[in-house]
Structure 1
Amino acid sequence: MHSIRRIFSVGAAALVLGAGLVAGSSGTAQAAPSDCTGGANGFTDIPDSLSGQGVAGAGAVVIDNPHAVASYAMQAGNVGGRQMAWGVLTTGSGGNWSPTARGLVWMDVTNNSGASWIQCGPFTTFSAGARLTTAAYPTSSSASRAFRVCAQVTSLGTDSNIACTGWW
């Protein structure tokens, strides 16, 4: 009888521990602008007005209810004497941006060929006609370093859409 109780206790403890790890892991995976602003994790703050060369493609994120459109892209250029990459989001204006819409942009950087990555952002705007950038990160000739930019448009309703560039 003691062995059955012990097996049950060990199994229940393992189940609770496993559930705690699964539930706890979602909280630790959340990224924030503070993970890459102010020089954190090797990133460099840049002004939202900074433009560079378009790399790795670009796209648009659209929601229908309410209607909102935002474009996103990855750019690269010289920042403080170093070649760097960053993400850009531009929200629609007029009939292409609802007052209840929210645009988000973030950039993922991997230094190990995508096995893991650092997320820079998301950076958020509710404004029509806004241009928003992520912090910039140094490019490298190493094949293991790659970047991608992702964008999301949401509304206070239920509509949401996310899109990303390919890895560059």
Structure 2
Amino acid sequence: MIRSALARAACTAGAGVLLAAGFTVAAPGTALAARSDCERGANGFRDISDSLVGVPAGPADKTLRSDPQGLVGRISLRAARIDGDVYGFAALSVPRVGDEVWMDWTLNGRDVHVQCGPFQAGRDGQALTSAAKVTDNSPNYRFRACGGGHGQAVQCTDWW
């Protein structure tokens, strides 16, 4: 499993960021972050290119939809080394306009998590990613990728 020991400090800092940013962190629940809360470096997130592929991280991909035309939209959790640290991010391959992808992350093992996104596809077939967040090898610091769109049920990978 790709995890950065150096990122362990980010986990501790991340807990303070959640509280300082005004996210609700009472279990159980989801704190929704506006795109502005996880773009341009906000709250430790990093903007990445939609063309960043990275490597599969942990759980299996989830199929968002399969069209009659044979287009299969897949949601996956990916990881990439950027400036010496390993970042996790959600990716959606072969989206249709309006499909969405986001990344959930938690500091307490999944009961309470922050949803970063959704990020919405503006073009058919062009890969789409969420913002990225430094990973950590703590068992409570976890990520998952989710997506939805066009009346399809939301799909999420397992936690990584």
Q: Which has the larger radius of gyration?
A: 1
* 3-state SS of 2:46 partner: coil
State the match for 1:4 in structure 2: none
Aligned residue identity for 2:156: C
Taking structure 1 as the reference length, what is the TM-score of the superposition? 0.69
Matched, 1:87 2:90: yes
Matched, 1:76 2:79: yes
Structure 1 contact 91–127 (Cα < 8 Å) conserved? no
Q: Deviations over 1:70-100 (max 9, x none)?
A: 21100012012111110101225xxxx5xxx
Which residue of 29, 40, 60 maps to 2:42? 40
State the match for 2:152 in structure 1: 160
Aligned residue identity for 1:140: D
Structure 2 contact 103–144 (Cα < 8 Å) conserved? yes
The size of the alignment, in residue pairs, is: 130
1:111-122 correspondence runs (5 A): 111-122=107-118
CA distance in 2, matches of 1:144, 1:112: 5
Unaligned runs of 5+ in 1: 1-27
Measured on the aligned residues, the alpha-carbon RMSD in Å equals 2.4
* Displaced runs of 4 or more, over 2 A: 28-32
1:51 deviates by 1.4
Taking structure 2 as the reference length, what is the TM-score of the superposition? 0.72
Provide closer, same or farther for how the CA distance between residues 149 and 78 of structure 1 changes in structure 2, counting only shifts above 3 A. Answer: same
* 3-state SS of 1:57 partner: coil
Provide closer, same or farther for how the CA distance between residues 30 and 68 of structure 1 changes in structure 2, counting only shifts above 3 A. Answer: farther
1:120-139 correspondence runs (5 A): 120-139=116-135
* 3-state SS of 1:38 partner: coil
* 3-state SS of 1:102 partner: coil
CA distance in 2, matches of 1:143, 1:72: 23
> Greater helix percent: which structure?
1
CA distance in 2, matches of 1:81, 1:150: 26
Unaligned runs of 5+ in 2: 1-29
1:107 deviates by 0.2
Aligned residue identity for 1:102: G
